[in-house]
Amino acid sequence: MKKLFILFALILASPTFAQITVEGTISDANGKPPILAHAHIGKYNEDAKKSTSTECSKEGHFSVKIAKAGIYALRLSAVDHEEISIPLILDEKDKHIEVNVRLRANAFIKDPDKITVIGDWNKFAFASSEQMTPVRANDMLSYYTYERTATGDTMSYQLMGTTTAGHSVNGTMADYFTYDGGGDYRSVIRTKPGQKVTITFDPSKEHYNTDADLPKVEIKNNQYLKKAYELSVAVEKMERESTVIPPGGGAATIPADKYKAILDNLKRIYADALKSGDIKFSQFAAVMLAKEFNPTYEFGSDNAEIVVKAVPATSPLWVMAPYEIRAIAGLVDKKTGDAYLKEFKNSPERSIRAIAYADDMEQAVKAKDTKEWRRLYELIKKDYGDVPEIKWTMVENNPDAVVMTGKPIPDFEVALLDGSGKVSNTSMLGKYYMIDFWATWCGPCVREMPAIHKAYEKFKGRKGFEILSLSMDAAESQIAPFRAKKWKMPWLHAFIPGVFEAELAKKFEVLGIPKPILVGPDGKVVAMQEELRGEELEKTLGKFLGQTD
């Protein structure tokens, strides 16, 4: 009995039980309780699927517990609506936070090129999605259908191509809905085995308010969190309104004067907070300033000094902008910058320490310091190998990678989409060629199109130069419409079914796209990745193929 009492006393005294309660209400775009809604709590920047999800009551109320202070993301989602994420920077003094939200409805495309469907029959795999059939009445688009034979008591599905967000969402036909684990919902239809089911998507059934001011967020009892969220939204709005997308596609840009205006605005907000004595919010504003760092523009040593002086290198706030620190530290005097980066490795946040060491490794790679490169790689692999934030760079900078400069390209053979035959690593010997893993859904891939077209026109045929684009789209049928309406891409094409799970993608260590690889006449890789992106593409090709007029 005495042992039980001592154990009970220890539990009560444990700091892990000093919980923080976050509660509130989710409303749909019409101000009513949603059909189904969830509140999700996870660490800031953590994979959404690792978050803890709580289903809201029928009235849209939620209540979640957080075990300790830290920086979290509160994500709120509902059927037919866009998920919203709210940063929660919590300390030991925070005991109760109230958040009330009215969400924005999914923005449906009025006349989409096509709608595809995925479901439990294909394990919701994008790579094997199937197209719905458009049904028209009096030359007007009415609805879309898809027929399938049921194999069980229910059929669960999602649609792609219906909203401007670009990801899979629930449809309009359902007996009930389930959360998909990633911010959206699945429609579920009750069926009988062997029953022929026609799934119908009818856009006219969506009757939600399209108020441009949505979503609306009310944080009642914490002024710091309220101001932090409002600043985040304001910056996002400034970025959105300043962004220019060239006609016909290409890289989205922000004019230099607009970029400077965003920096100046954040600098003013920081100064006002500092002047008022609100150190906590001034540090948040400084981190938001750091997040705006862009190598394309002049960030300024004055702004870098603000950030370095305002935010300690060990501040947990850096989880919001961990990738900008090295560049910003490089803009202040060397002694200060080096000391800041050294201290950065002492961050209490494990993910930040991992990123700091990964940055050092990338510097060693650039300096071609093979010994330091391998030392850091082994250190990171041992102590931080499971940190998702550095997974990509660990693959890209693996000193023993299969695909890297100086090594032979892996064996491959693909069938060309125009039916003219096959292309392989053997058939391409004797010429320079660029393999480009891409997809029509990939924004960065599309933004590379102007540079690739310009370079191809300039270097085509020079020393045999050719481009081989390997599409990682969900379906081969998505490629031709893209090339017909947007970019001609007048070079070699092949389709790689399976997206990132494709055998060829794994062989070439493709974790993200675009992934361009330049191969020399001897079949060895001569350049890859950043050396072949944007303005660097022409420079790199000129280096190997010779400059032209």
- Enumerate domains of the chain plus CATH numbers: 15-102 (2.60.40.10), 116-205 (2.60.40), 222-348 (no CATH), 413-545 (3.40.30.10)
Alpha helices by DSSP H, 243-349: 256-275, 279-291, 301-310, 325-329, 334-344
> Mean pLDDT over residues 316-322, rounded?
92
End-to-end CA distance of the chain: 90
Q: Strand 70-78's sheet: what is its strand order?
A: 52-55, 37-43, 70-78, 84-90
> Mean pLDDT over residues 459-475, rounded?
91
Report long-range pairs for 241-250 (Cβ below 8 Å, ≥24 apart).
246/450, 248/486, 249/446, 249/447, 249/449, 249/450, 249/486, 249/487, 250/446, 250/447, 250/449, 250/450
- Identify the pLDDT of residue 178: 97
What is the C-alpha separation between 304 and 270, in angstroms, rounded? 13
The yes-or-no verdict on residue 165 having pLDDT over 60 is yes
What is the C-alpha separation between 456 and 538, in angstroms, rounded? 9
8 A C-beta contact, residue 17 and residue 65 = no
The yes-or-no verdict on residue 416 having pLDDT over 70 is yes
- pLDDT, tens digit (0-9, with 9 covering 90-100), for 253-307: 789 999 999 999 999 999 999 999 999 999 999 999 999 998 888 999 999 999 9
426 vs 45, higher pLDDT: 426
**Rg of the Cα atoms in the chain:** 26
The yes-or-no verdict on residue 127 having pLDDT over 90 is no
Burial profile 303-334: b = 16 or more Cβ within 10 angstroms, e = fewer: bbebbbebbebebbbbbbbbebbbebbebbee
Least confident of 84-88, 158-162, 248-252, 349-353: 248-252
pTM: 0.77
pLDDT band at 250 (very low <50, low <70, confident <90, very high): low
> Mean pLDDT over residues 476-492, rounded?
88
Provide the angle, in degrees to the nearest 10, between the axes of the packed helices 350-366 and 370-384: 160
The yes-or-no verdict on residue 503 having pLDDT over 50 is yes
What is the C-alpha separation between 300 and 293, in angstroms, rounded? 9
> Mean pLDDT over residues 74-89, rounded?
95
The yes-or-no verdict on residue 10 having pLDDT over 50 is no
Amino acid at 89: I
What is the C-alpha separation between 71 and 284, in angstroms, rounded? 12
The yes-or-no verdict on residue 136 having pLDDT over 50 is yes
- Identify the pLDDT of residue 504: 92
The yes-or-no verdict on residue 369 having pLDDT over 50 is yes
8 A C-beta contact, residue 337 and residue 343 = no
What is the C-alpha separation between 8 and 18, in angstroms, rounded? 15
- Identify the pLDDT of residue 249: 52
Mean pLDDT (the chain, rounded): 89
- Identify the pLDDT of residue 251: 60
What is the C-alpha separation between 359 and 180, in angstroms, rounded? 34
What is the C-alpha separation between 101 and 26, in angstroms, rounded? 5
Amino acid at 284: F
